[in-house]
Structure 1
Amino acid sequence: MWSWLRRRRVPALPDALWEATLRRYPFLAEREAAEAARLRALAAEFLARKEFHGAGGLVITDEIALAIAAQAVLPVLHLGLGWYDDFVGIVVHPDEVVARRTEVDATGVVHDWDEVLAGEAMEGGPVMLNWRDVAQAGASAETGFNVVIHEFVHKIDMRDGAPDGCPPLASVQARRAWLQVMEANYERFREAVIRAERFGEEHPWLDGYGATAIDEFFAVACEGYFVNRARFTQDFPELTALFDGFYRRG
């Protein structure tokens, strides 16, 4: 592993490895030549800047590292890797992990529970992912699911503090306009998920986890936007326009 990578230098990605990655994740290849070249260059730069750590017996291979890098840079393809400069480490588990959670409520009662995690982004800290979901991202694009994009969008959201469904923007007015669109779409999505769960209506296309909080909705929506833009736009045309403006696409 890493025979082609010299730390602190941007590597020249082997053609065979890059082409295999594009075949495995077709949504990465769906772009014009100039943007495809930028994707490859940014993925290489990402590999030079970040450190991968296997957990639970997983050995990080070139295939694993590049698969994560290529997907992680999609949200910052036109923004730059500076948006990810608050961390270095990426921890990869073989599968989902169970985390023990503790919370003290307003009355002082302590609540303990187990939470199953596909991934996690820690403010100012590393990103945790699981290889099973990353490996299956080519197929799961049909349903708009992508754990890498989800967690790295959380990183973008947290650039200005706690995640709140709004990335750092240039002005108070821009933030207000963003949240107006985001909150309206979030409430519609949340109501649709509730109707599906309580009354047996059809489940929305996006992962219902996005109904748990507006920051999760932002991350879930970006999954669909980046891996299946056409299908996402059918349900969320306002968000496509909003995201195009921020991510500088279109």
Structure 2
Amino acid sequence: MWGWLRRRRSAPEIPDALWRATLQRYPFLAARSPEETGKLRALAAEFLASKEFHGAGGLAISDEIALAIAAQAVLPVLHLGLAWYDDFVGIVVHPDEVLARRSQTDESGVVHDWHEVLAGEAMDGGPVMLNWHDVAHAGASAETGFNVVIHEFVHKIDLRDGAADGCPPLPSRQARARWLETLQHAYQGFREQVIVAERFGGEEPWLDAYGATAIDEFFAVACEAYFVNRERFGREFAELTALFDGFYLPKGNS
């Protein structure tokens, strides 16, 4: 229908049937107010007009795939605007997770090579990589707070100031200090819970343990849950919920 994907000068019209099917597939989108779902639909159309989708590994981009990604990707910037995503155009979609080769040289000059399984990846100033399997199952995985699209696009928001530090650009040093203090406190608590679970058989954390690897990953993992399972996230991380509300929601609604 949209001939995936030529650069368009105007946003495509999203057919009602396709939009209803998307909301049905991803209940965390449908659960928003009628005003917000209307805004989400309009912003998703603008997103589709400004980005280029590329299928990899034999995956053909369909309207269903593109809209599913667009509707989830714009959720974090619903009240911030698409300008937060203006540093890139390309979105590469694989059928499933990707095995990526990594290489790093340590301080002694020794080169270490390894392989890493990636569900997605966001590159500073570059494209976003996703896998359709996890995107397609995002409605079910919302129960555990997992969402690969939101995770990678939150990384894009984090990287707007050039640093992957778990803090998006904020209006003042005081706001930045408060943000990092609140996030760091939650991150340390989460890391301790993960360590206790892994080493001593303690209770498994609700959030993906991958969030314990670095504070920027914790930020992305926390935001996934905040957007797709706000009720559970609010019980688990009340302080972070208030912090995120102050950033992602319009003033007066946070």
Tell me the TM-score normalized by structure 2: 0.96
- Name the counterpart of 2:152: 151
Kept in 2, the 8 Å contact 1:5–1:11? The answer is no
> Structure 1, unaligned stretches of length 5 or more?
none
- SS in structure 2 of the partner of residue 164 of structure 1: coil
Shift of 1:8: 1.6
- SS in structure 2 of the partner of residue 52 of structure 1: strand
Shift of 1:33: 1.3
Shift of 1:107: 1.7
Deviations 1:120-145 (A, max 9, x none): 00000000000000000000000000
Kept in 1, the 8 Å contact 2:4–2:53? The answer is no
Shift of 1:116: 0.3
- SS in structure 1 of the partner of residue 210 of structure 2: helix
- Name the counterpart of 1:197: 198
1:212, 1:4 → 2: CA distance?
A: 36
- Name the counterpart of 2:2: 2
- Name the counterpart of 1:102: 103
Kept in 2, the 8 Å contact 1:25–1:138? The answer is yes
Alignment of 1:102-121 (within 5 A): 102-121=103-122
Kept in 2, the 8 Å contact 1:140–1:146? The answer is yes
- SS in structure 1 of the partner of residue 199 of structure 2: helix
Aligned pairs, number: 250
Kept in 2, the 8 Å contact 1:4–1:11? The answer is no
1:68, 1:103 → 2: CA distance?
A: 32
Q: Cα 1:194–1:31, aligned 2, differ >3 Å: closer, same or farther?
A: same
Shift of 1:162: 2.2
- Name the counterpart of 1:68: 69
Q: Cα 1:140–1:238, aligned 2, differ >3 Å: closer, same or farther?
A: same
- Name the counterpart of 2:182: 181
> Structure 2, unaligned stretches of length 5 or more?
none
Q: Percent identity?
A: 78
Tell me the TM-score normalized by structure 1: 0.98
Shift of 1:4: 10
Q: Cα 1:5–1:93, aligned 2, differ >3 Å: closer, same or farther?
A: closer
1:106, 1:165 → 2: CA distance?
A: 26
CA-based RMSD of the aligned residues comes to 1.2
Deviations 1:204-228 (A, max 9, x none): 1000000000000000000000000
- Name the counterpart of 2:222: 221
